[in-house]
């Protein structure tokens, strides 16, 4: 980044937001990014440097404010890097995400004839999985527990996180005090919270084994946080190596699960899970409604994960093929299907390039839920197979637009599209798109 004169101040009129939710202003031929500013606002900024053709700035003062601006509820918002849109009213957050996805698709020439209403739920206390950093300072002899600051490796203390569930075990100020009482206060590096439907699991990542005395202190602390009427607590320890997590408290614990389509899906501590349970349940129902899987149809679920879509599909079709790259995930899918007595076939295949799906039977429909990098590796296979219906679920609007452009060029039409606000208070957005092959005209 080209350095800037740190004393140079400008007054800018913000007219848009970037995909990451930063304000965009223009002055002459120059473009400026203003984190924390909203469209319609007049902002006083100081220049922070120039990257490529865009100036990075730091917001000093708002001369004129947007009617969509709200006071962030979280006292840690200005420092914590976990959320970036709390200063924008929730309805406006959803509208921004809808416009952002539509803009990305339009740039790639993808036409959407019908946008469904966004899937939304409660904008607070929704996040059921999160990982907090823990750091011990030898200088101050205290622990820091929280999320990394925006654009920084520094851990910012958080007392309570307003997007995590309300539970006494998620009081991070209390955890800071407790960790500081341990002999091994410097060997705990992370706390991961997993709020399943039947329990709240906390996984402490440690650099070396704890002493019996420290384990006893943690068990006593966990017991005090376990209250009737709330999700029962589980406390686990995991080393930085590949060893599995070990249950510390209580002595026995039920396997974690979450409900999808009236199915209790087993959830391992390391499994990827959509972090917003209410939005996820509505998303799965919308996928089933749009795809309309027939009982005798062959359905592929690519990037199947732990079966979030596969298991509901297998309630409706006798020929669901759930495909994953890692053999451990395939084994987990097979065990999940067996446990639920569902006719699902779990398959290991390379989804990054040509040939990985060659041995699979012809599909009547394909559901895609790839990681952020998208599904470029399977586009040619789907086109060659002339798959009649494709349902694409994406967590990245840019790679979604790229892949849809490829499908559109090969004769596919978008029938429906809609966003799902899986991550309120942040710029992240999920999108669902249904495509069908164009019917050939005769005569």
For residues 194-215, b (16+ Cβ closer than 10 Å) or e, as one string?
bbbebbbbbbbbbeeebeeebb
Written as six digits, the tokens of 249 are: 């408290």
Q: Is 369 annotated as a binding residue?
A: yes
Q: Is 268 annotated as a binding residue?
A: no
Task: Check 80, 83, 161, 395 and give the catalytic one.
Answer: 395
Q: Which of 217, 215, 270, 212 is nearest to 244 (CA)?
A: 270
Written as six digits, the tokens of 204 are: 């402490």
**Dmax (CA) of the chain:** 83
Q: Which of 404, 115, 30, 260 is nearest to 10 (CA)?
A: 30
Distance from C-alpha of 316 to C-alpha of 320, rounded to nearest angstrom: 9
Strand (E) or helix (H) holding 94 = helix 90-107
Q: Is 274 annotated as a binding residue?
A: yes
User: Has 74 been annotated as catalytic?
Assistant: no
Three-state helix/strand/coil letters over 287-322:
HHHHHCCCCCCEEEEECCCCCCCHHHHHCCCCEEEE
Q: Which of 330, 203, 312 is nearest to 256 (CA)?
A: 203
Q: Is 272 annotated as a binding residue?
A: no
Query: CA distances (Å), 75 to each of 11, 65, 158, 186, in order?
Result: 27, 20, 9, 27
Written as six digits, the tokens of 123 are: 């904008």
Treating both helix axes as pointing N-terminal to C-terminal, what angle do 172-180 and 212-225 enclose, rounded to 10 degrees?
160
Bridge partners, residue 334, by sequence: none
Q: Which of 410, 407, 412, 404 is nearest to 431 (CA)?
A: 404
Q: Which of 72, 425, 99 is nearest to 276 (CA)?
A: 425
Q: Which of 249, 216, 251 is nearest to 235 (CA)?
A: 249
What values do phi and psi take at 387, rounded to 5?
Answer: -60, 125
Bridge partners, residue 191, by sequence: 132, 204
Q: Which of 411, 402, 347, 413 is nearest to 384 (CA)?
A: 411
Binding residue positions = 274, 303, 324, 369
Binding residue positions for S-adenosyl-L-methionine = 274, 303, 324, 369
Which positions are annotated as active-site residues?
395
């Amino acid at each position: 980044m080209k350095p800037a004169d740190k004393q140079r101040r400008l007054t800018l009129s913000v007219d848009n937001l970037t995909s990451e939710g930063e304000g965009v202003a223009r002055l002459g031929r120059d473009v400026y990014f203003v984190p924390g500013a909203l469209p319609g606002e007049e902002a006083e900024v100081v220049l922070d440097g120039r990257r490529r053709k865009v100036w990075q700035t730091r917001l000093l003062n708002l001369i004129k404010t947007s009617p969509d601006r709200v006071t962030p509820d979280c006292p840690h918002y200005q420092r914590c890097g976990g959320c970036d849109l709390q200063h924008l009213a929730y309805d406006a957050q959803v509208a921004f995400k809808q416009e952002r996805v539509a803009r990305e698709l339009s740039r790639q020439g993808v036409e959407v004839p019908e946008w469904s209403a966004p899937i939304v739920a409660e904008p607070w206390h929704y996040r059921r999985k999160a990982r907090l950093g823990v750091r011990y300072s030898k200088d101050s002899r205290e622990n820091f527990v929280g999320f990394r600051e925006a654009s920084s490796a520094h851990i910012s203390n958080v007392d309570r996180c307003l997007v995590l569930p309300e539970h006494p075990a998620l009081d991070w100020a209390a955890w800071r005090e407790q960790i500081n009482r341990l002999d091994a206060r410097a060997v705990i590096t992370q706390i991961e919270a997993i709020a399943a439907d039947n329990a709240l699991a906390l996984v402490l990542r440690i650099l070396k084994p704890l002493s019996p005395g420290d384990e006893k202190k943690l068990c006593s602390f966990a017991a005090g946080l376990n209250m009737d009427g709330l999700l029962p607590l589980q406390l686990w320890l995991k080393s930085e190596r590949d060893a599995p997590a070990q249950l510390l408290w209580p002595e026995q614990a039920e396997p974690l699960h979450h409900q999808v389509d009236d199915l209790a899906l087993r959830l391992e501590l390391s499994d990827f899970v959509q972090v917003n349970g209410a939005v996820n349940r509505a998303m799965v129902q919308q996928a089933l409604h749009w795809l309309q899987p027939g009982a005798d149809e062959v359905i592929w679920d690519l990037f199947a994960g732990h079966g979030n879509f596969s298991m509901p599909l297998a309630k409706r079709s006798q020929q669901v093929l759930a495909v994953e790259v890692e053999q451990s995930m395939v084994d987990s899918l097979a065990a999940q299907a067996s446990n639920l007595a569902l006719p699902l076939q779990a398959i290991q295949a390379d989804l990054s390039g040509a040939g990985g799906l060659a041995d699979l039977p012809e599909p009547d429909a394909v559901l895609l839920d790839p990681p952020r990098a998208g599904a470029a590796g399977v586009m040619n296979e789907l086109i060659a197979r002339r798959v009649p219906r494709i349902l694409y679920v994406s967590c990245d609007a840019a790679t979604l637009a790229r892949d849809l452009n490829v499908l559109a060029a090969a004769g596919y039409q978008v029938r429906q599209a809609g966003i799902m606000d899986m991550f309120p208070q942040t710029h992240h957005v999920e999108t669902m798109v249904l495509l069908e092959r164009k019917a050939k005209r005769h005569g």
